[in-house]
Chains A and B, each alone.
Chain A
Amino acid sequence: MSDGLTVQLHDLVRNPPPHTTIDVGRAVRGGRRRRRARQVGGLAGALALAGALAVFLNPAHREADTVAGPSVTGGAVLDRYPVFGWLPESVRRGGGSLSIYDVDDERAAIYESGDQPKSAILLDLLVPPGSGEQAPPVNGNPAFWVDDDWLRWRMPDGTWVQAGTNDLPERDVRGVLHRVASELTVVLRPRSYAADALLPEGWRLDRIEVVRLGTETAPRFWEQRVHYTLHGRPVTVRIGWGVSRAGACLDAVSRQSERVTLCADDAETLRRFDLYAVGEGLHLSVL
């Protein structure tokens, strides 16, 4: 298929529409503004670093030092959850929400403001070390900048994490990322659902998400959403407390005695899931 696919992909873009909104001049103007903001931010960051060093070198202030860093002992990517410490005000505003999702064997997280336009901190867990422009160490661990203001650093357990931003109004993006990184911990929580169980023909695991609405200081319960495709139709398994409903849903309990809500677009798909759950050892009991 691959040779034919290459030809088809080229065919697909053979005749692009002539009108385009791309403006190279606008890119230059916007890019210059961002360069200026980075220079201002860099100066502020240098001053902050100098201040931090002064505190560190003064024994009178040593007691104020904090040792950041979680104790992570390994584990699969699906079991990793970020816990944010400091976040910029623009991201916390409006309550904010934390979303964690998996795509195949990738895991990422977003902490996003509740306001419009949404500002966000993006996080990728378990990235390869790679290389890039040297950045100030994060809690004493090596760090560097990759691509466009993504900070990649080594966690105390030896794994690498990277963070970026979207639509952040703060001028010193690098300073923000560095502070977020210095207070970020990654904890291991056992999965509550056998989402990677062997799926029968016709079932496909699309992704897993863990969503928590509310702020870090006033967290609500986690809700885990496991998305499947069954013969082209989406089925979402929702695990958690007080989940909202859409489409056809039924309540069940898992073998771990968790409350599980199964939702699909129609009752027929839902019935198939019920049969699958019974037949494939997911041990769900319909309430």
Chain B
Amino acid sequence: MAADAEFIEYATAKTPWLRKVAYLLCGDWHQADDLVQAAITKLFVHWQRARRAGNLDGYARAVLVNEFLAERRRFWARWVVPWTGTDEAVAVQDLETALDLRTALDALPPRQRAAVVLRYYCDLSIEEAARTMRCSPGNVKSQASRGLATLRRNLERV
């Protein structure tokens, strides 16, 4: 089980880094832990393929980001069915009391947030971010640009 030992060594070493990326994506350390747990489980399932990918860190980051985006899809579905207005009211309250970057990040839609984190925290190029998010480079440009504009607007309002 050399491959398993290799995975354990890799996952143990990279968990702190993945946890930080996850926190920037979801804005909560508990959720970040859940996200990383799900991501490294998937990474283990596909460990042989991941090793062949050539860029193990990039593969792990892509699994994490796509786990986040998939989870957000479900979150949004729960949010709107049935619609009561409660969650939106909370979101407004958050915006009005925004005092820091974290709150401004929380106001970003998931894909904008992922694009901002990949570009400005992970320092990925447009093409690398596009591969990670499984979309076109033009889409990443658009998402990151809108994300930055929204962040700026929200921070200025504070």
Contact = CB atoms under 8 A, between A and B. Distances in A.
Nearest to A146: B134
Given A31-B45, A120-B74, A244 B92 contact: no
Interface of B: 4, 7-8, 11-12, 15-16, 19-20, 23-24, 29-30, 33-34, 36-37, 40-47, 49, 62-63, 66, 70-71, 73-74, 76-78, 80-86, 88-89, 91-92, 95-96, 101-102, 109-112, 116-117, 119-121, 123, 134-136, 139, 142-143, 146, 148, 151-152, 157
A166 B12 contact: no
Contact of A5 (B4, B30, B120, B146): B120
Interface residues of A, number: 65
Contacts of B8: 24-25, 28
11 contacts: A5-B116, A22-B19, A23-B37, A27-B37, A28-B7, A110-B73, A122-B73, A127-B134, A128-B134, A128-B136, A147-B42
A21 B19 CA distance: 11
- The 3 A-B pairs at the shortest CB distance, nearest first, are namely A31-B44, A246-B85, A13-B20
B70 A122 contact: yes
Contact of A97 (B76, B81, B85, B135): B81
Contacts of A21: 30, 33-34, 37
Contacts, number: 175
A93 interface: no
B71 to A, nearest CB: 8
B112 A104 contact: yes
B45 A265 contact: no
B135 A24 contact: no
A104 B110 CA distance: 11
- Interface SS, B side: helix
Interface string A8-39: 11101100110011111111101110110010
Given A28-B7, A234-B91, 19 more contacts: A2-B119, A6-B120, A9-B121, A13-B121, A21-B30, A22-B19, A22-B36, A24-B15, A27-B43, A28-B44, A103-B109, A106-B111, A110-B73, A122-B70, A122-B74, A147-B46, A209-B76, A234-B92, A265-B92
A238 B123 CA distance: 40
Contact of B84 (A108, A122, A238, A246): A246
Contacts of A234: 88, 91-92
Interface of A: 1-2, 5-6, 8-10, 12-13, 16-17, 20-28, 30-32, 34-35, 38, 97, 99, 101, 103-106, 108, 110, 112, 118, 120, 122, 127-128, 130, 133, 146-148, 162, 164, 166, 206-207, 209, 211, 213, 225, 232-234, 236, 238, 244, 246-247, 263, 265
Given A24-B11, A147-B63, A236 B88 contact: yes
A166 B66 CA distance: 12
A26 B37 contact: yes
Given A101-B76, A128-B135, A147-B63, A164 B120 contact: no
B133 to A, nearest CB: 10
B101 A110 contact: no
B81 A211 contact: yes
Contacts of A99: 76-77, 80-81
A36 to B, nearest CB: 10
A207 B109 contact: yes
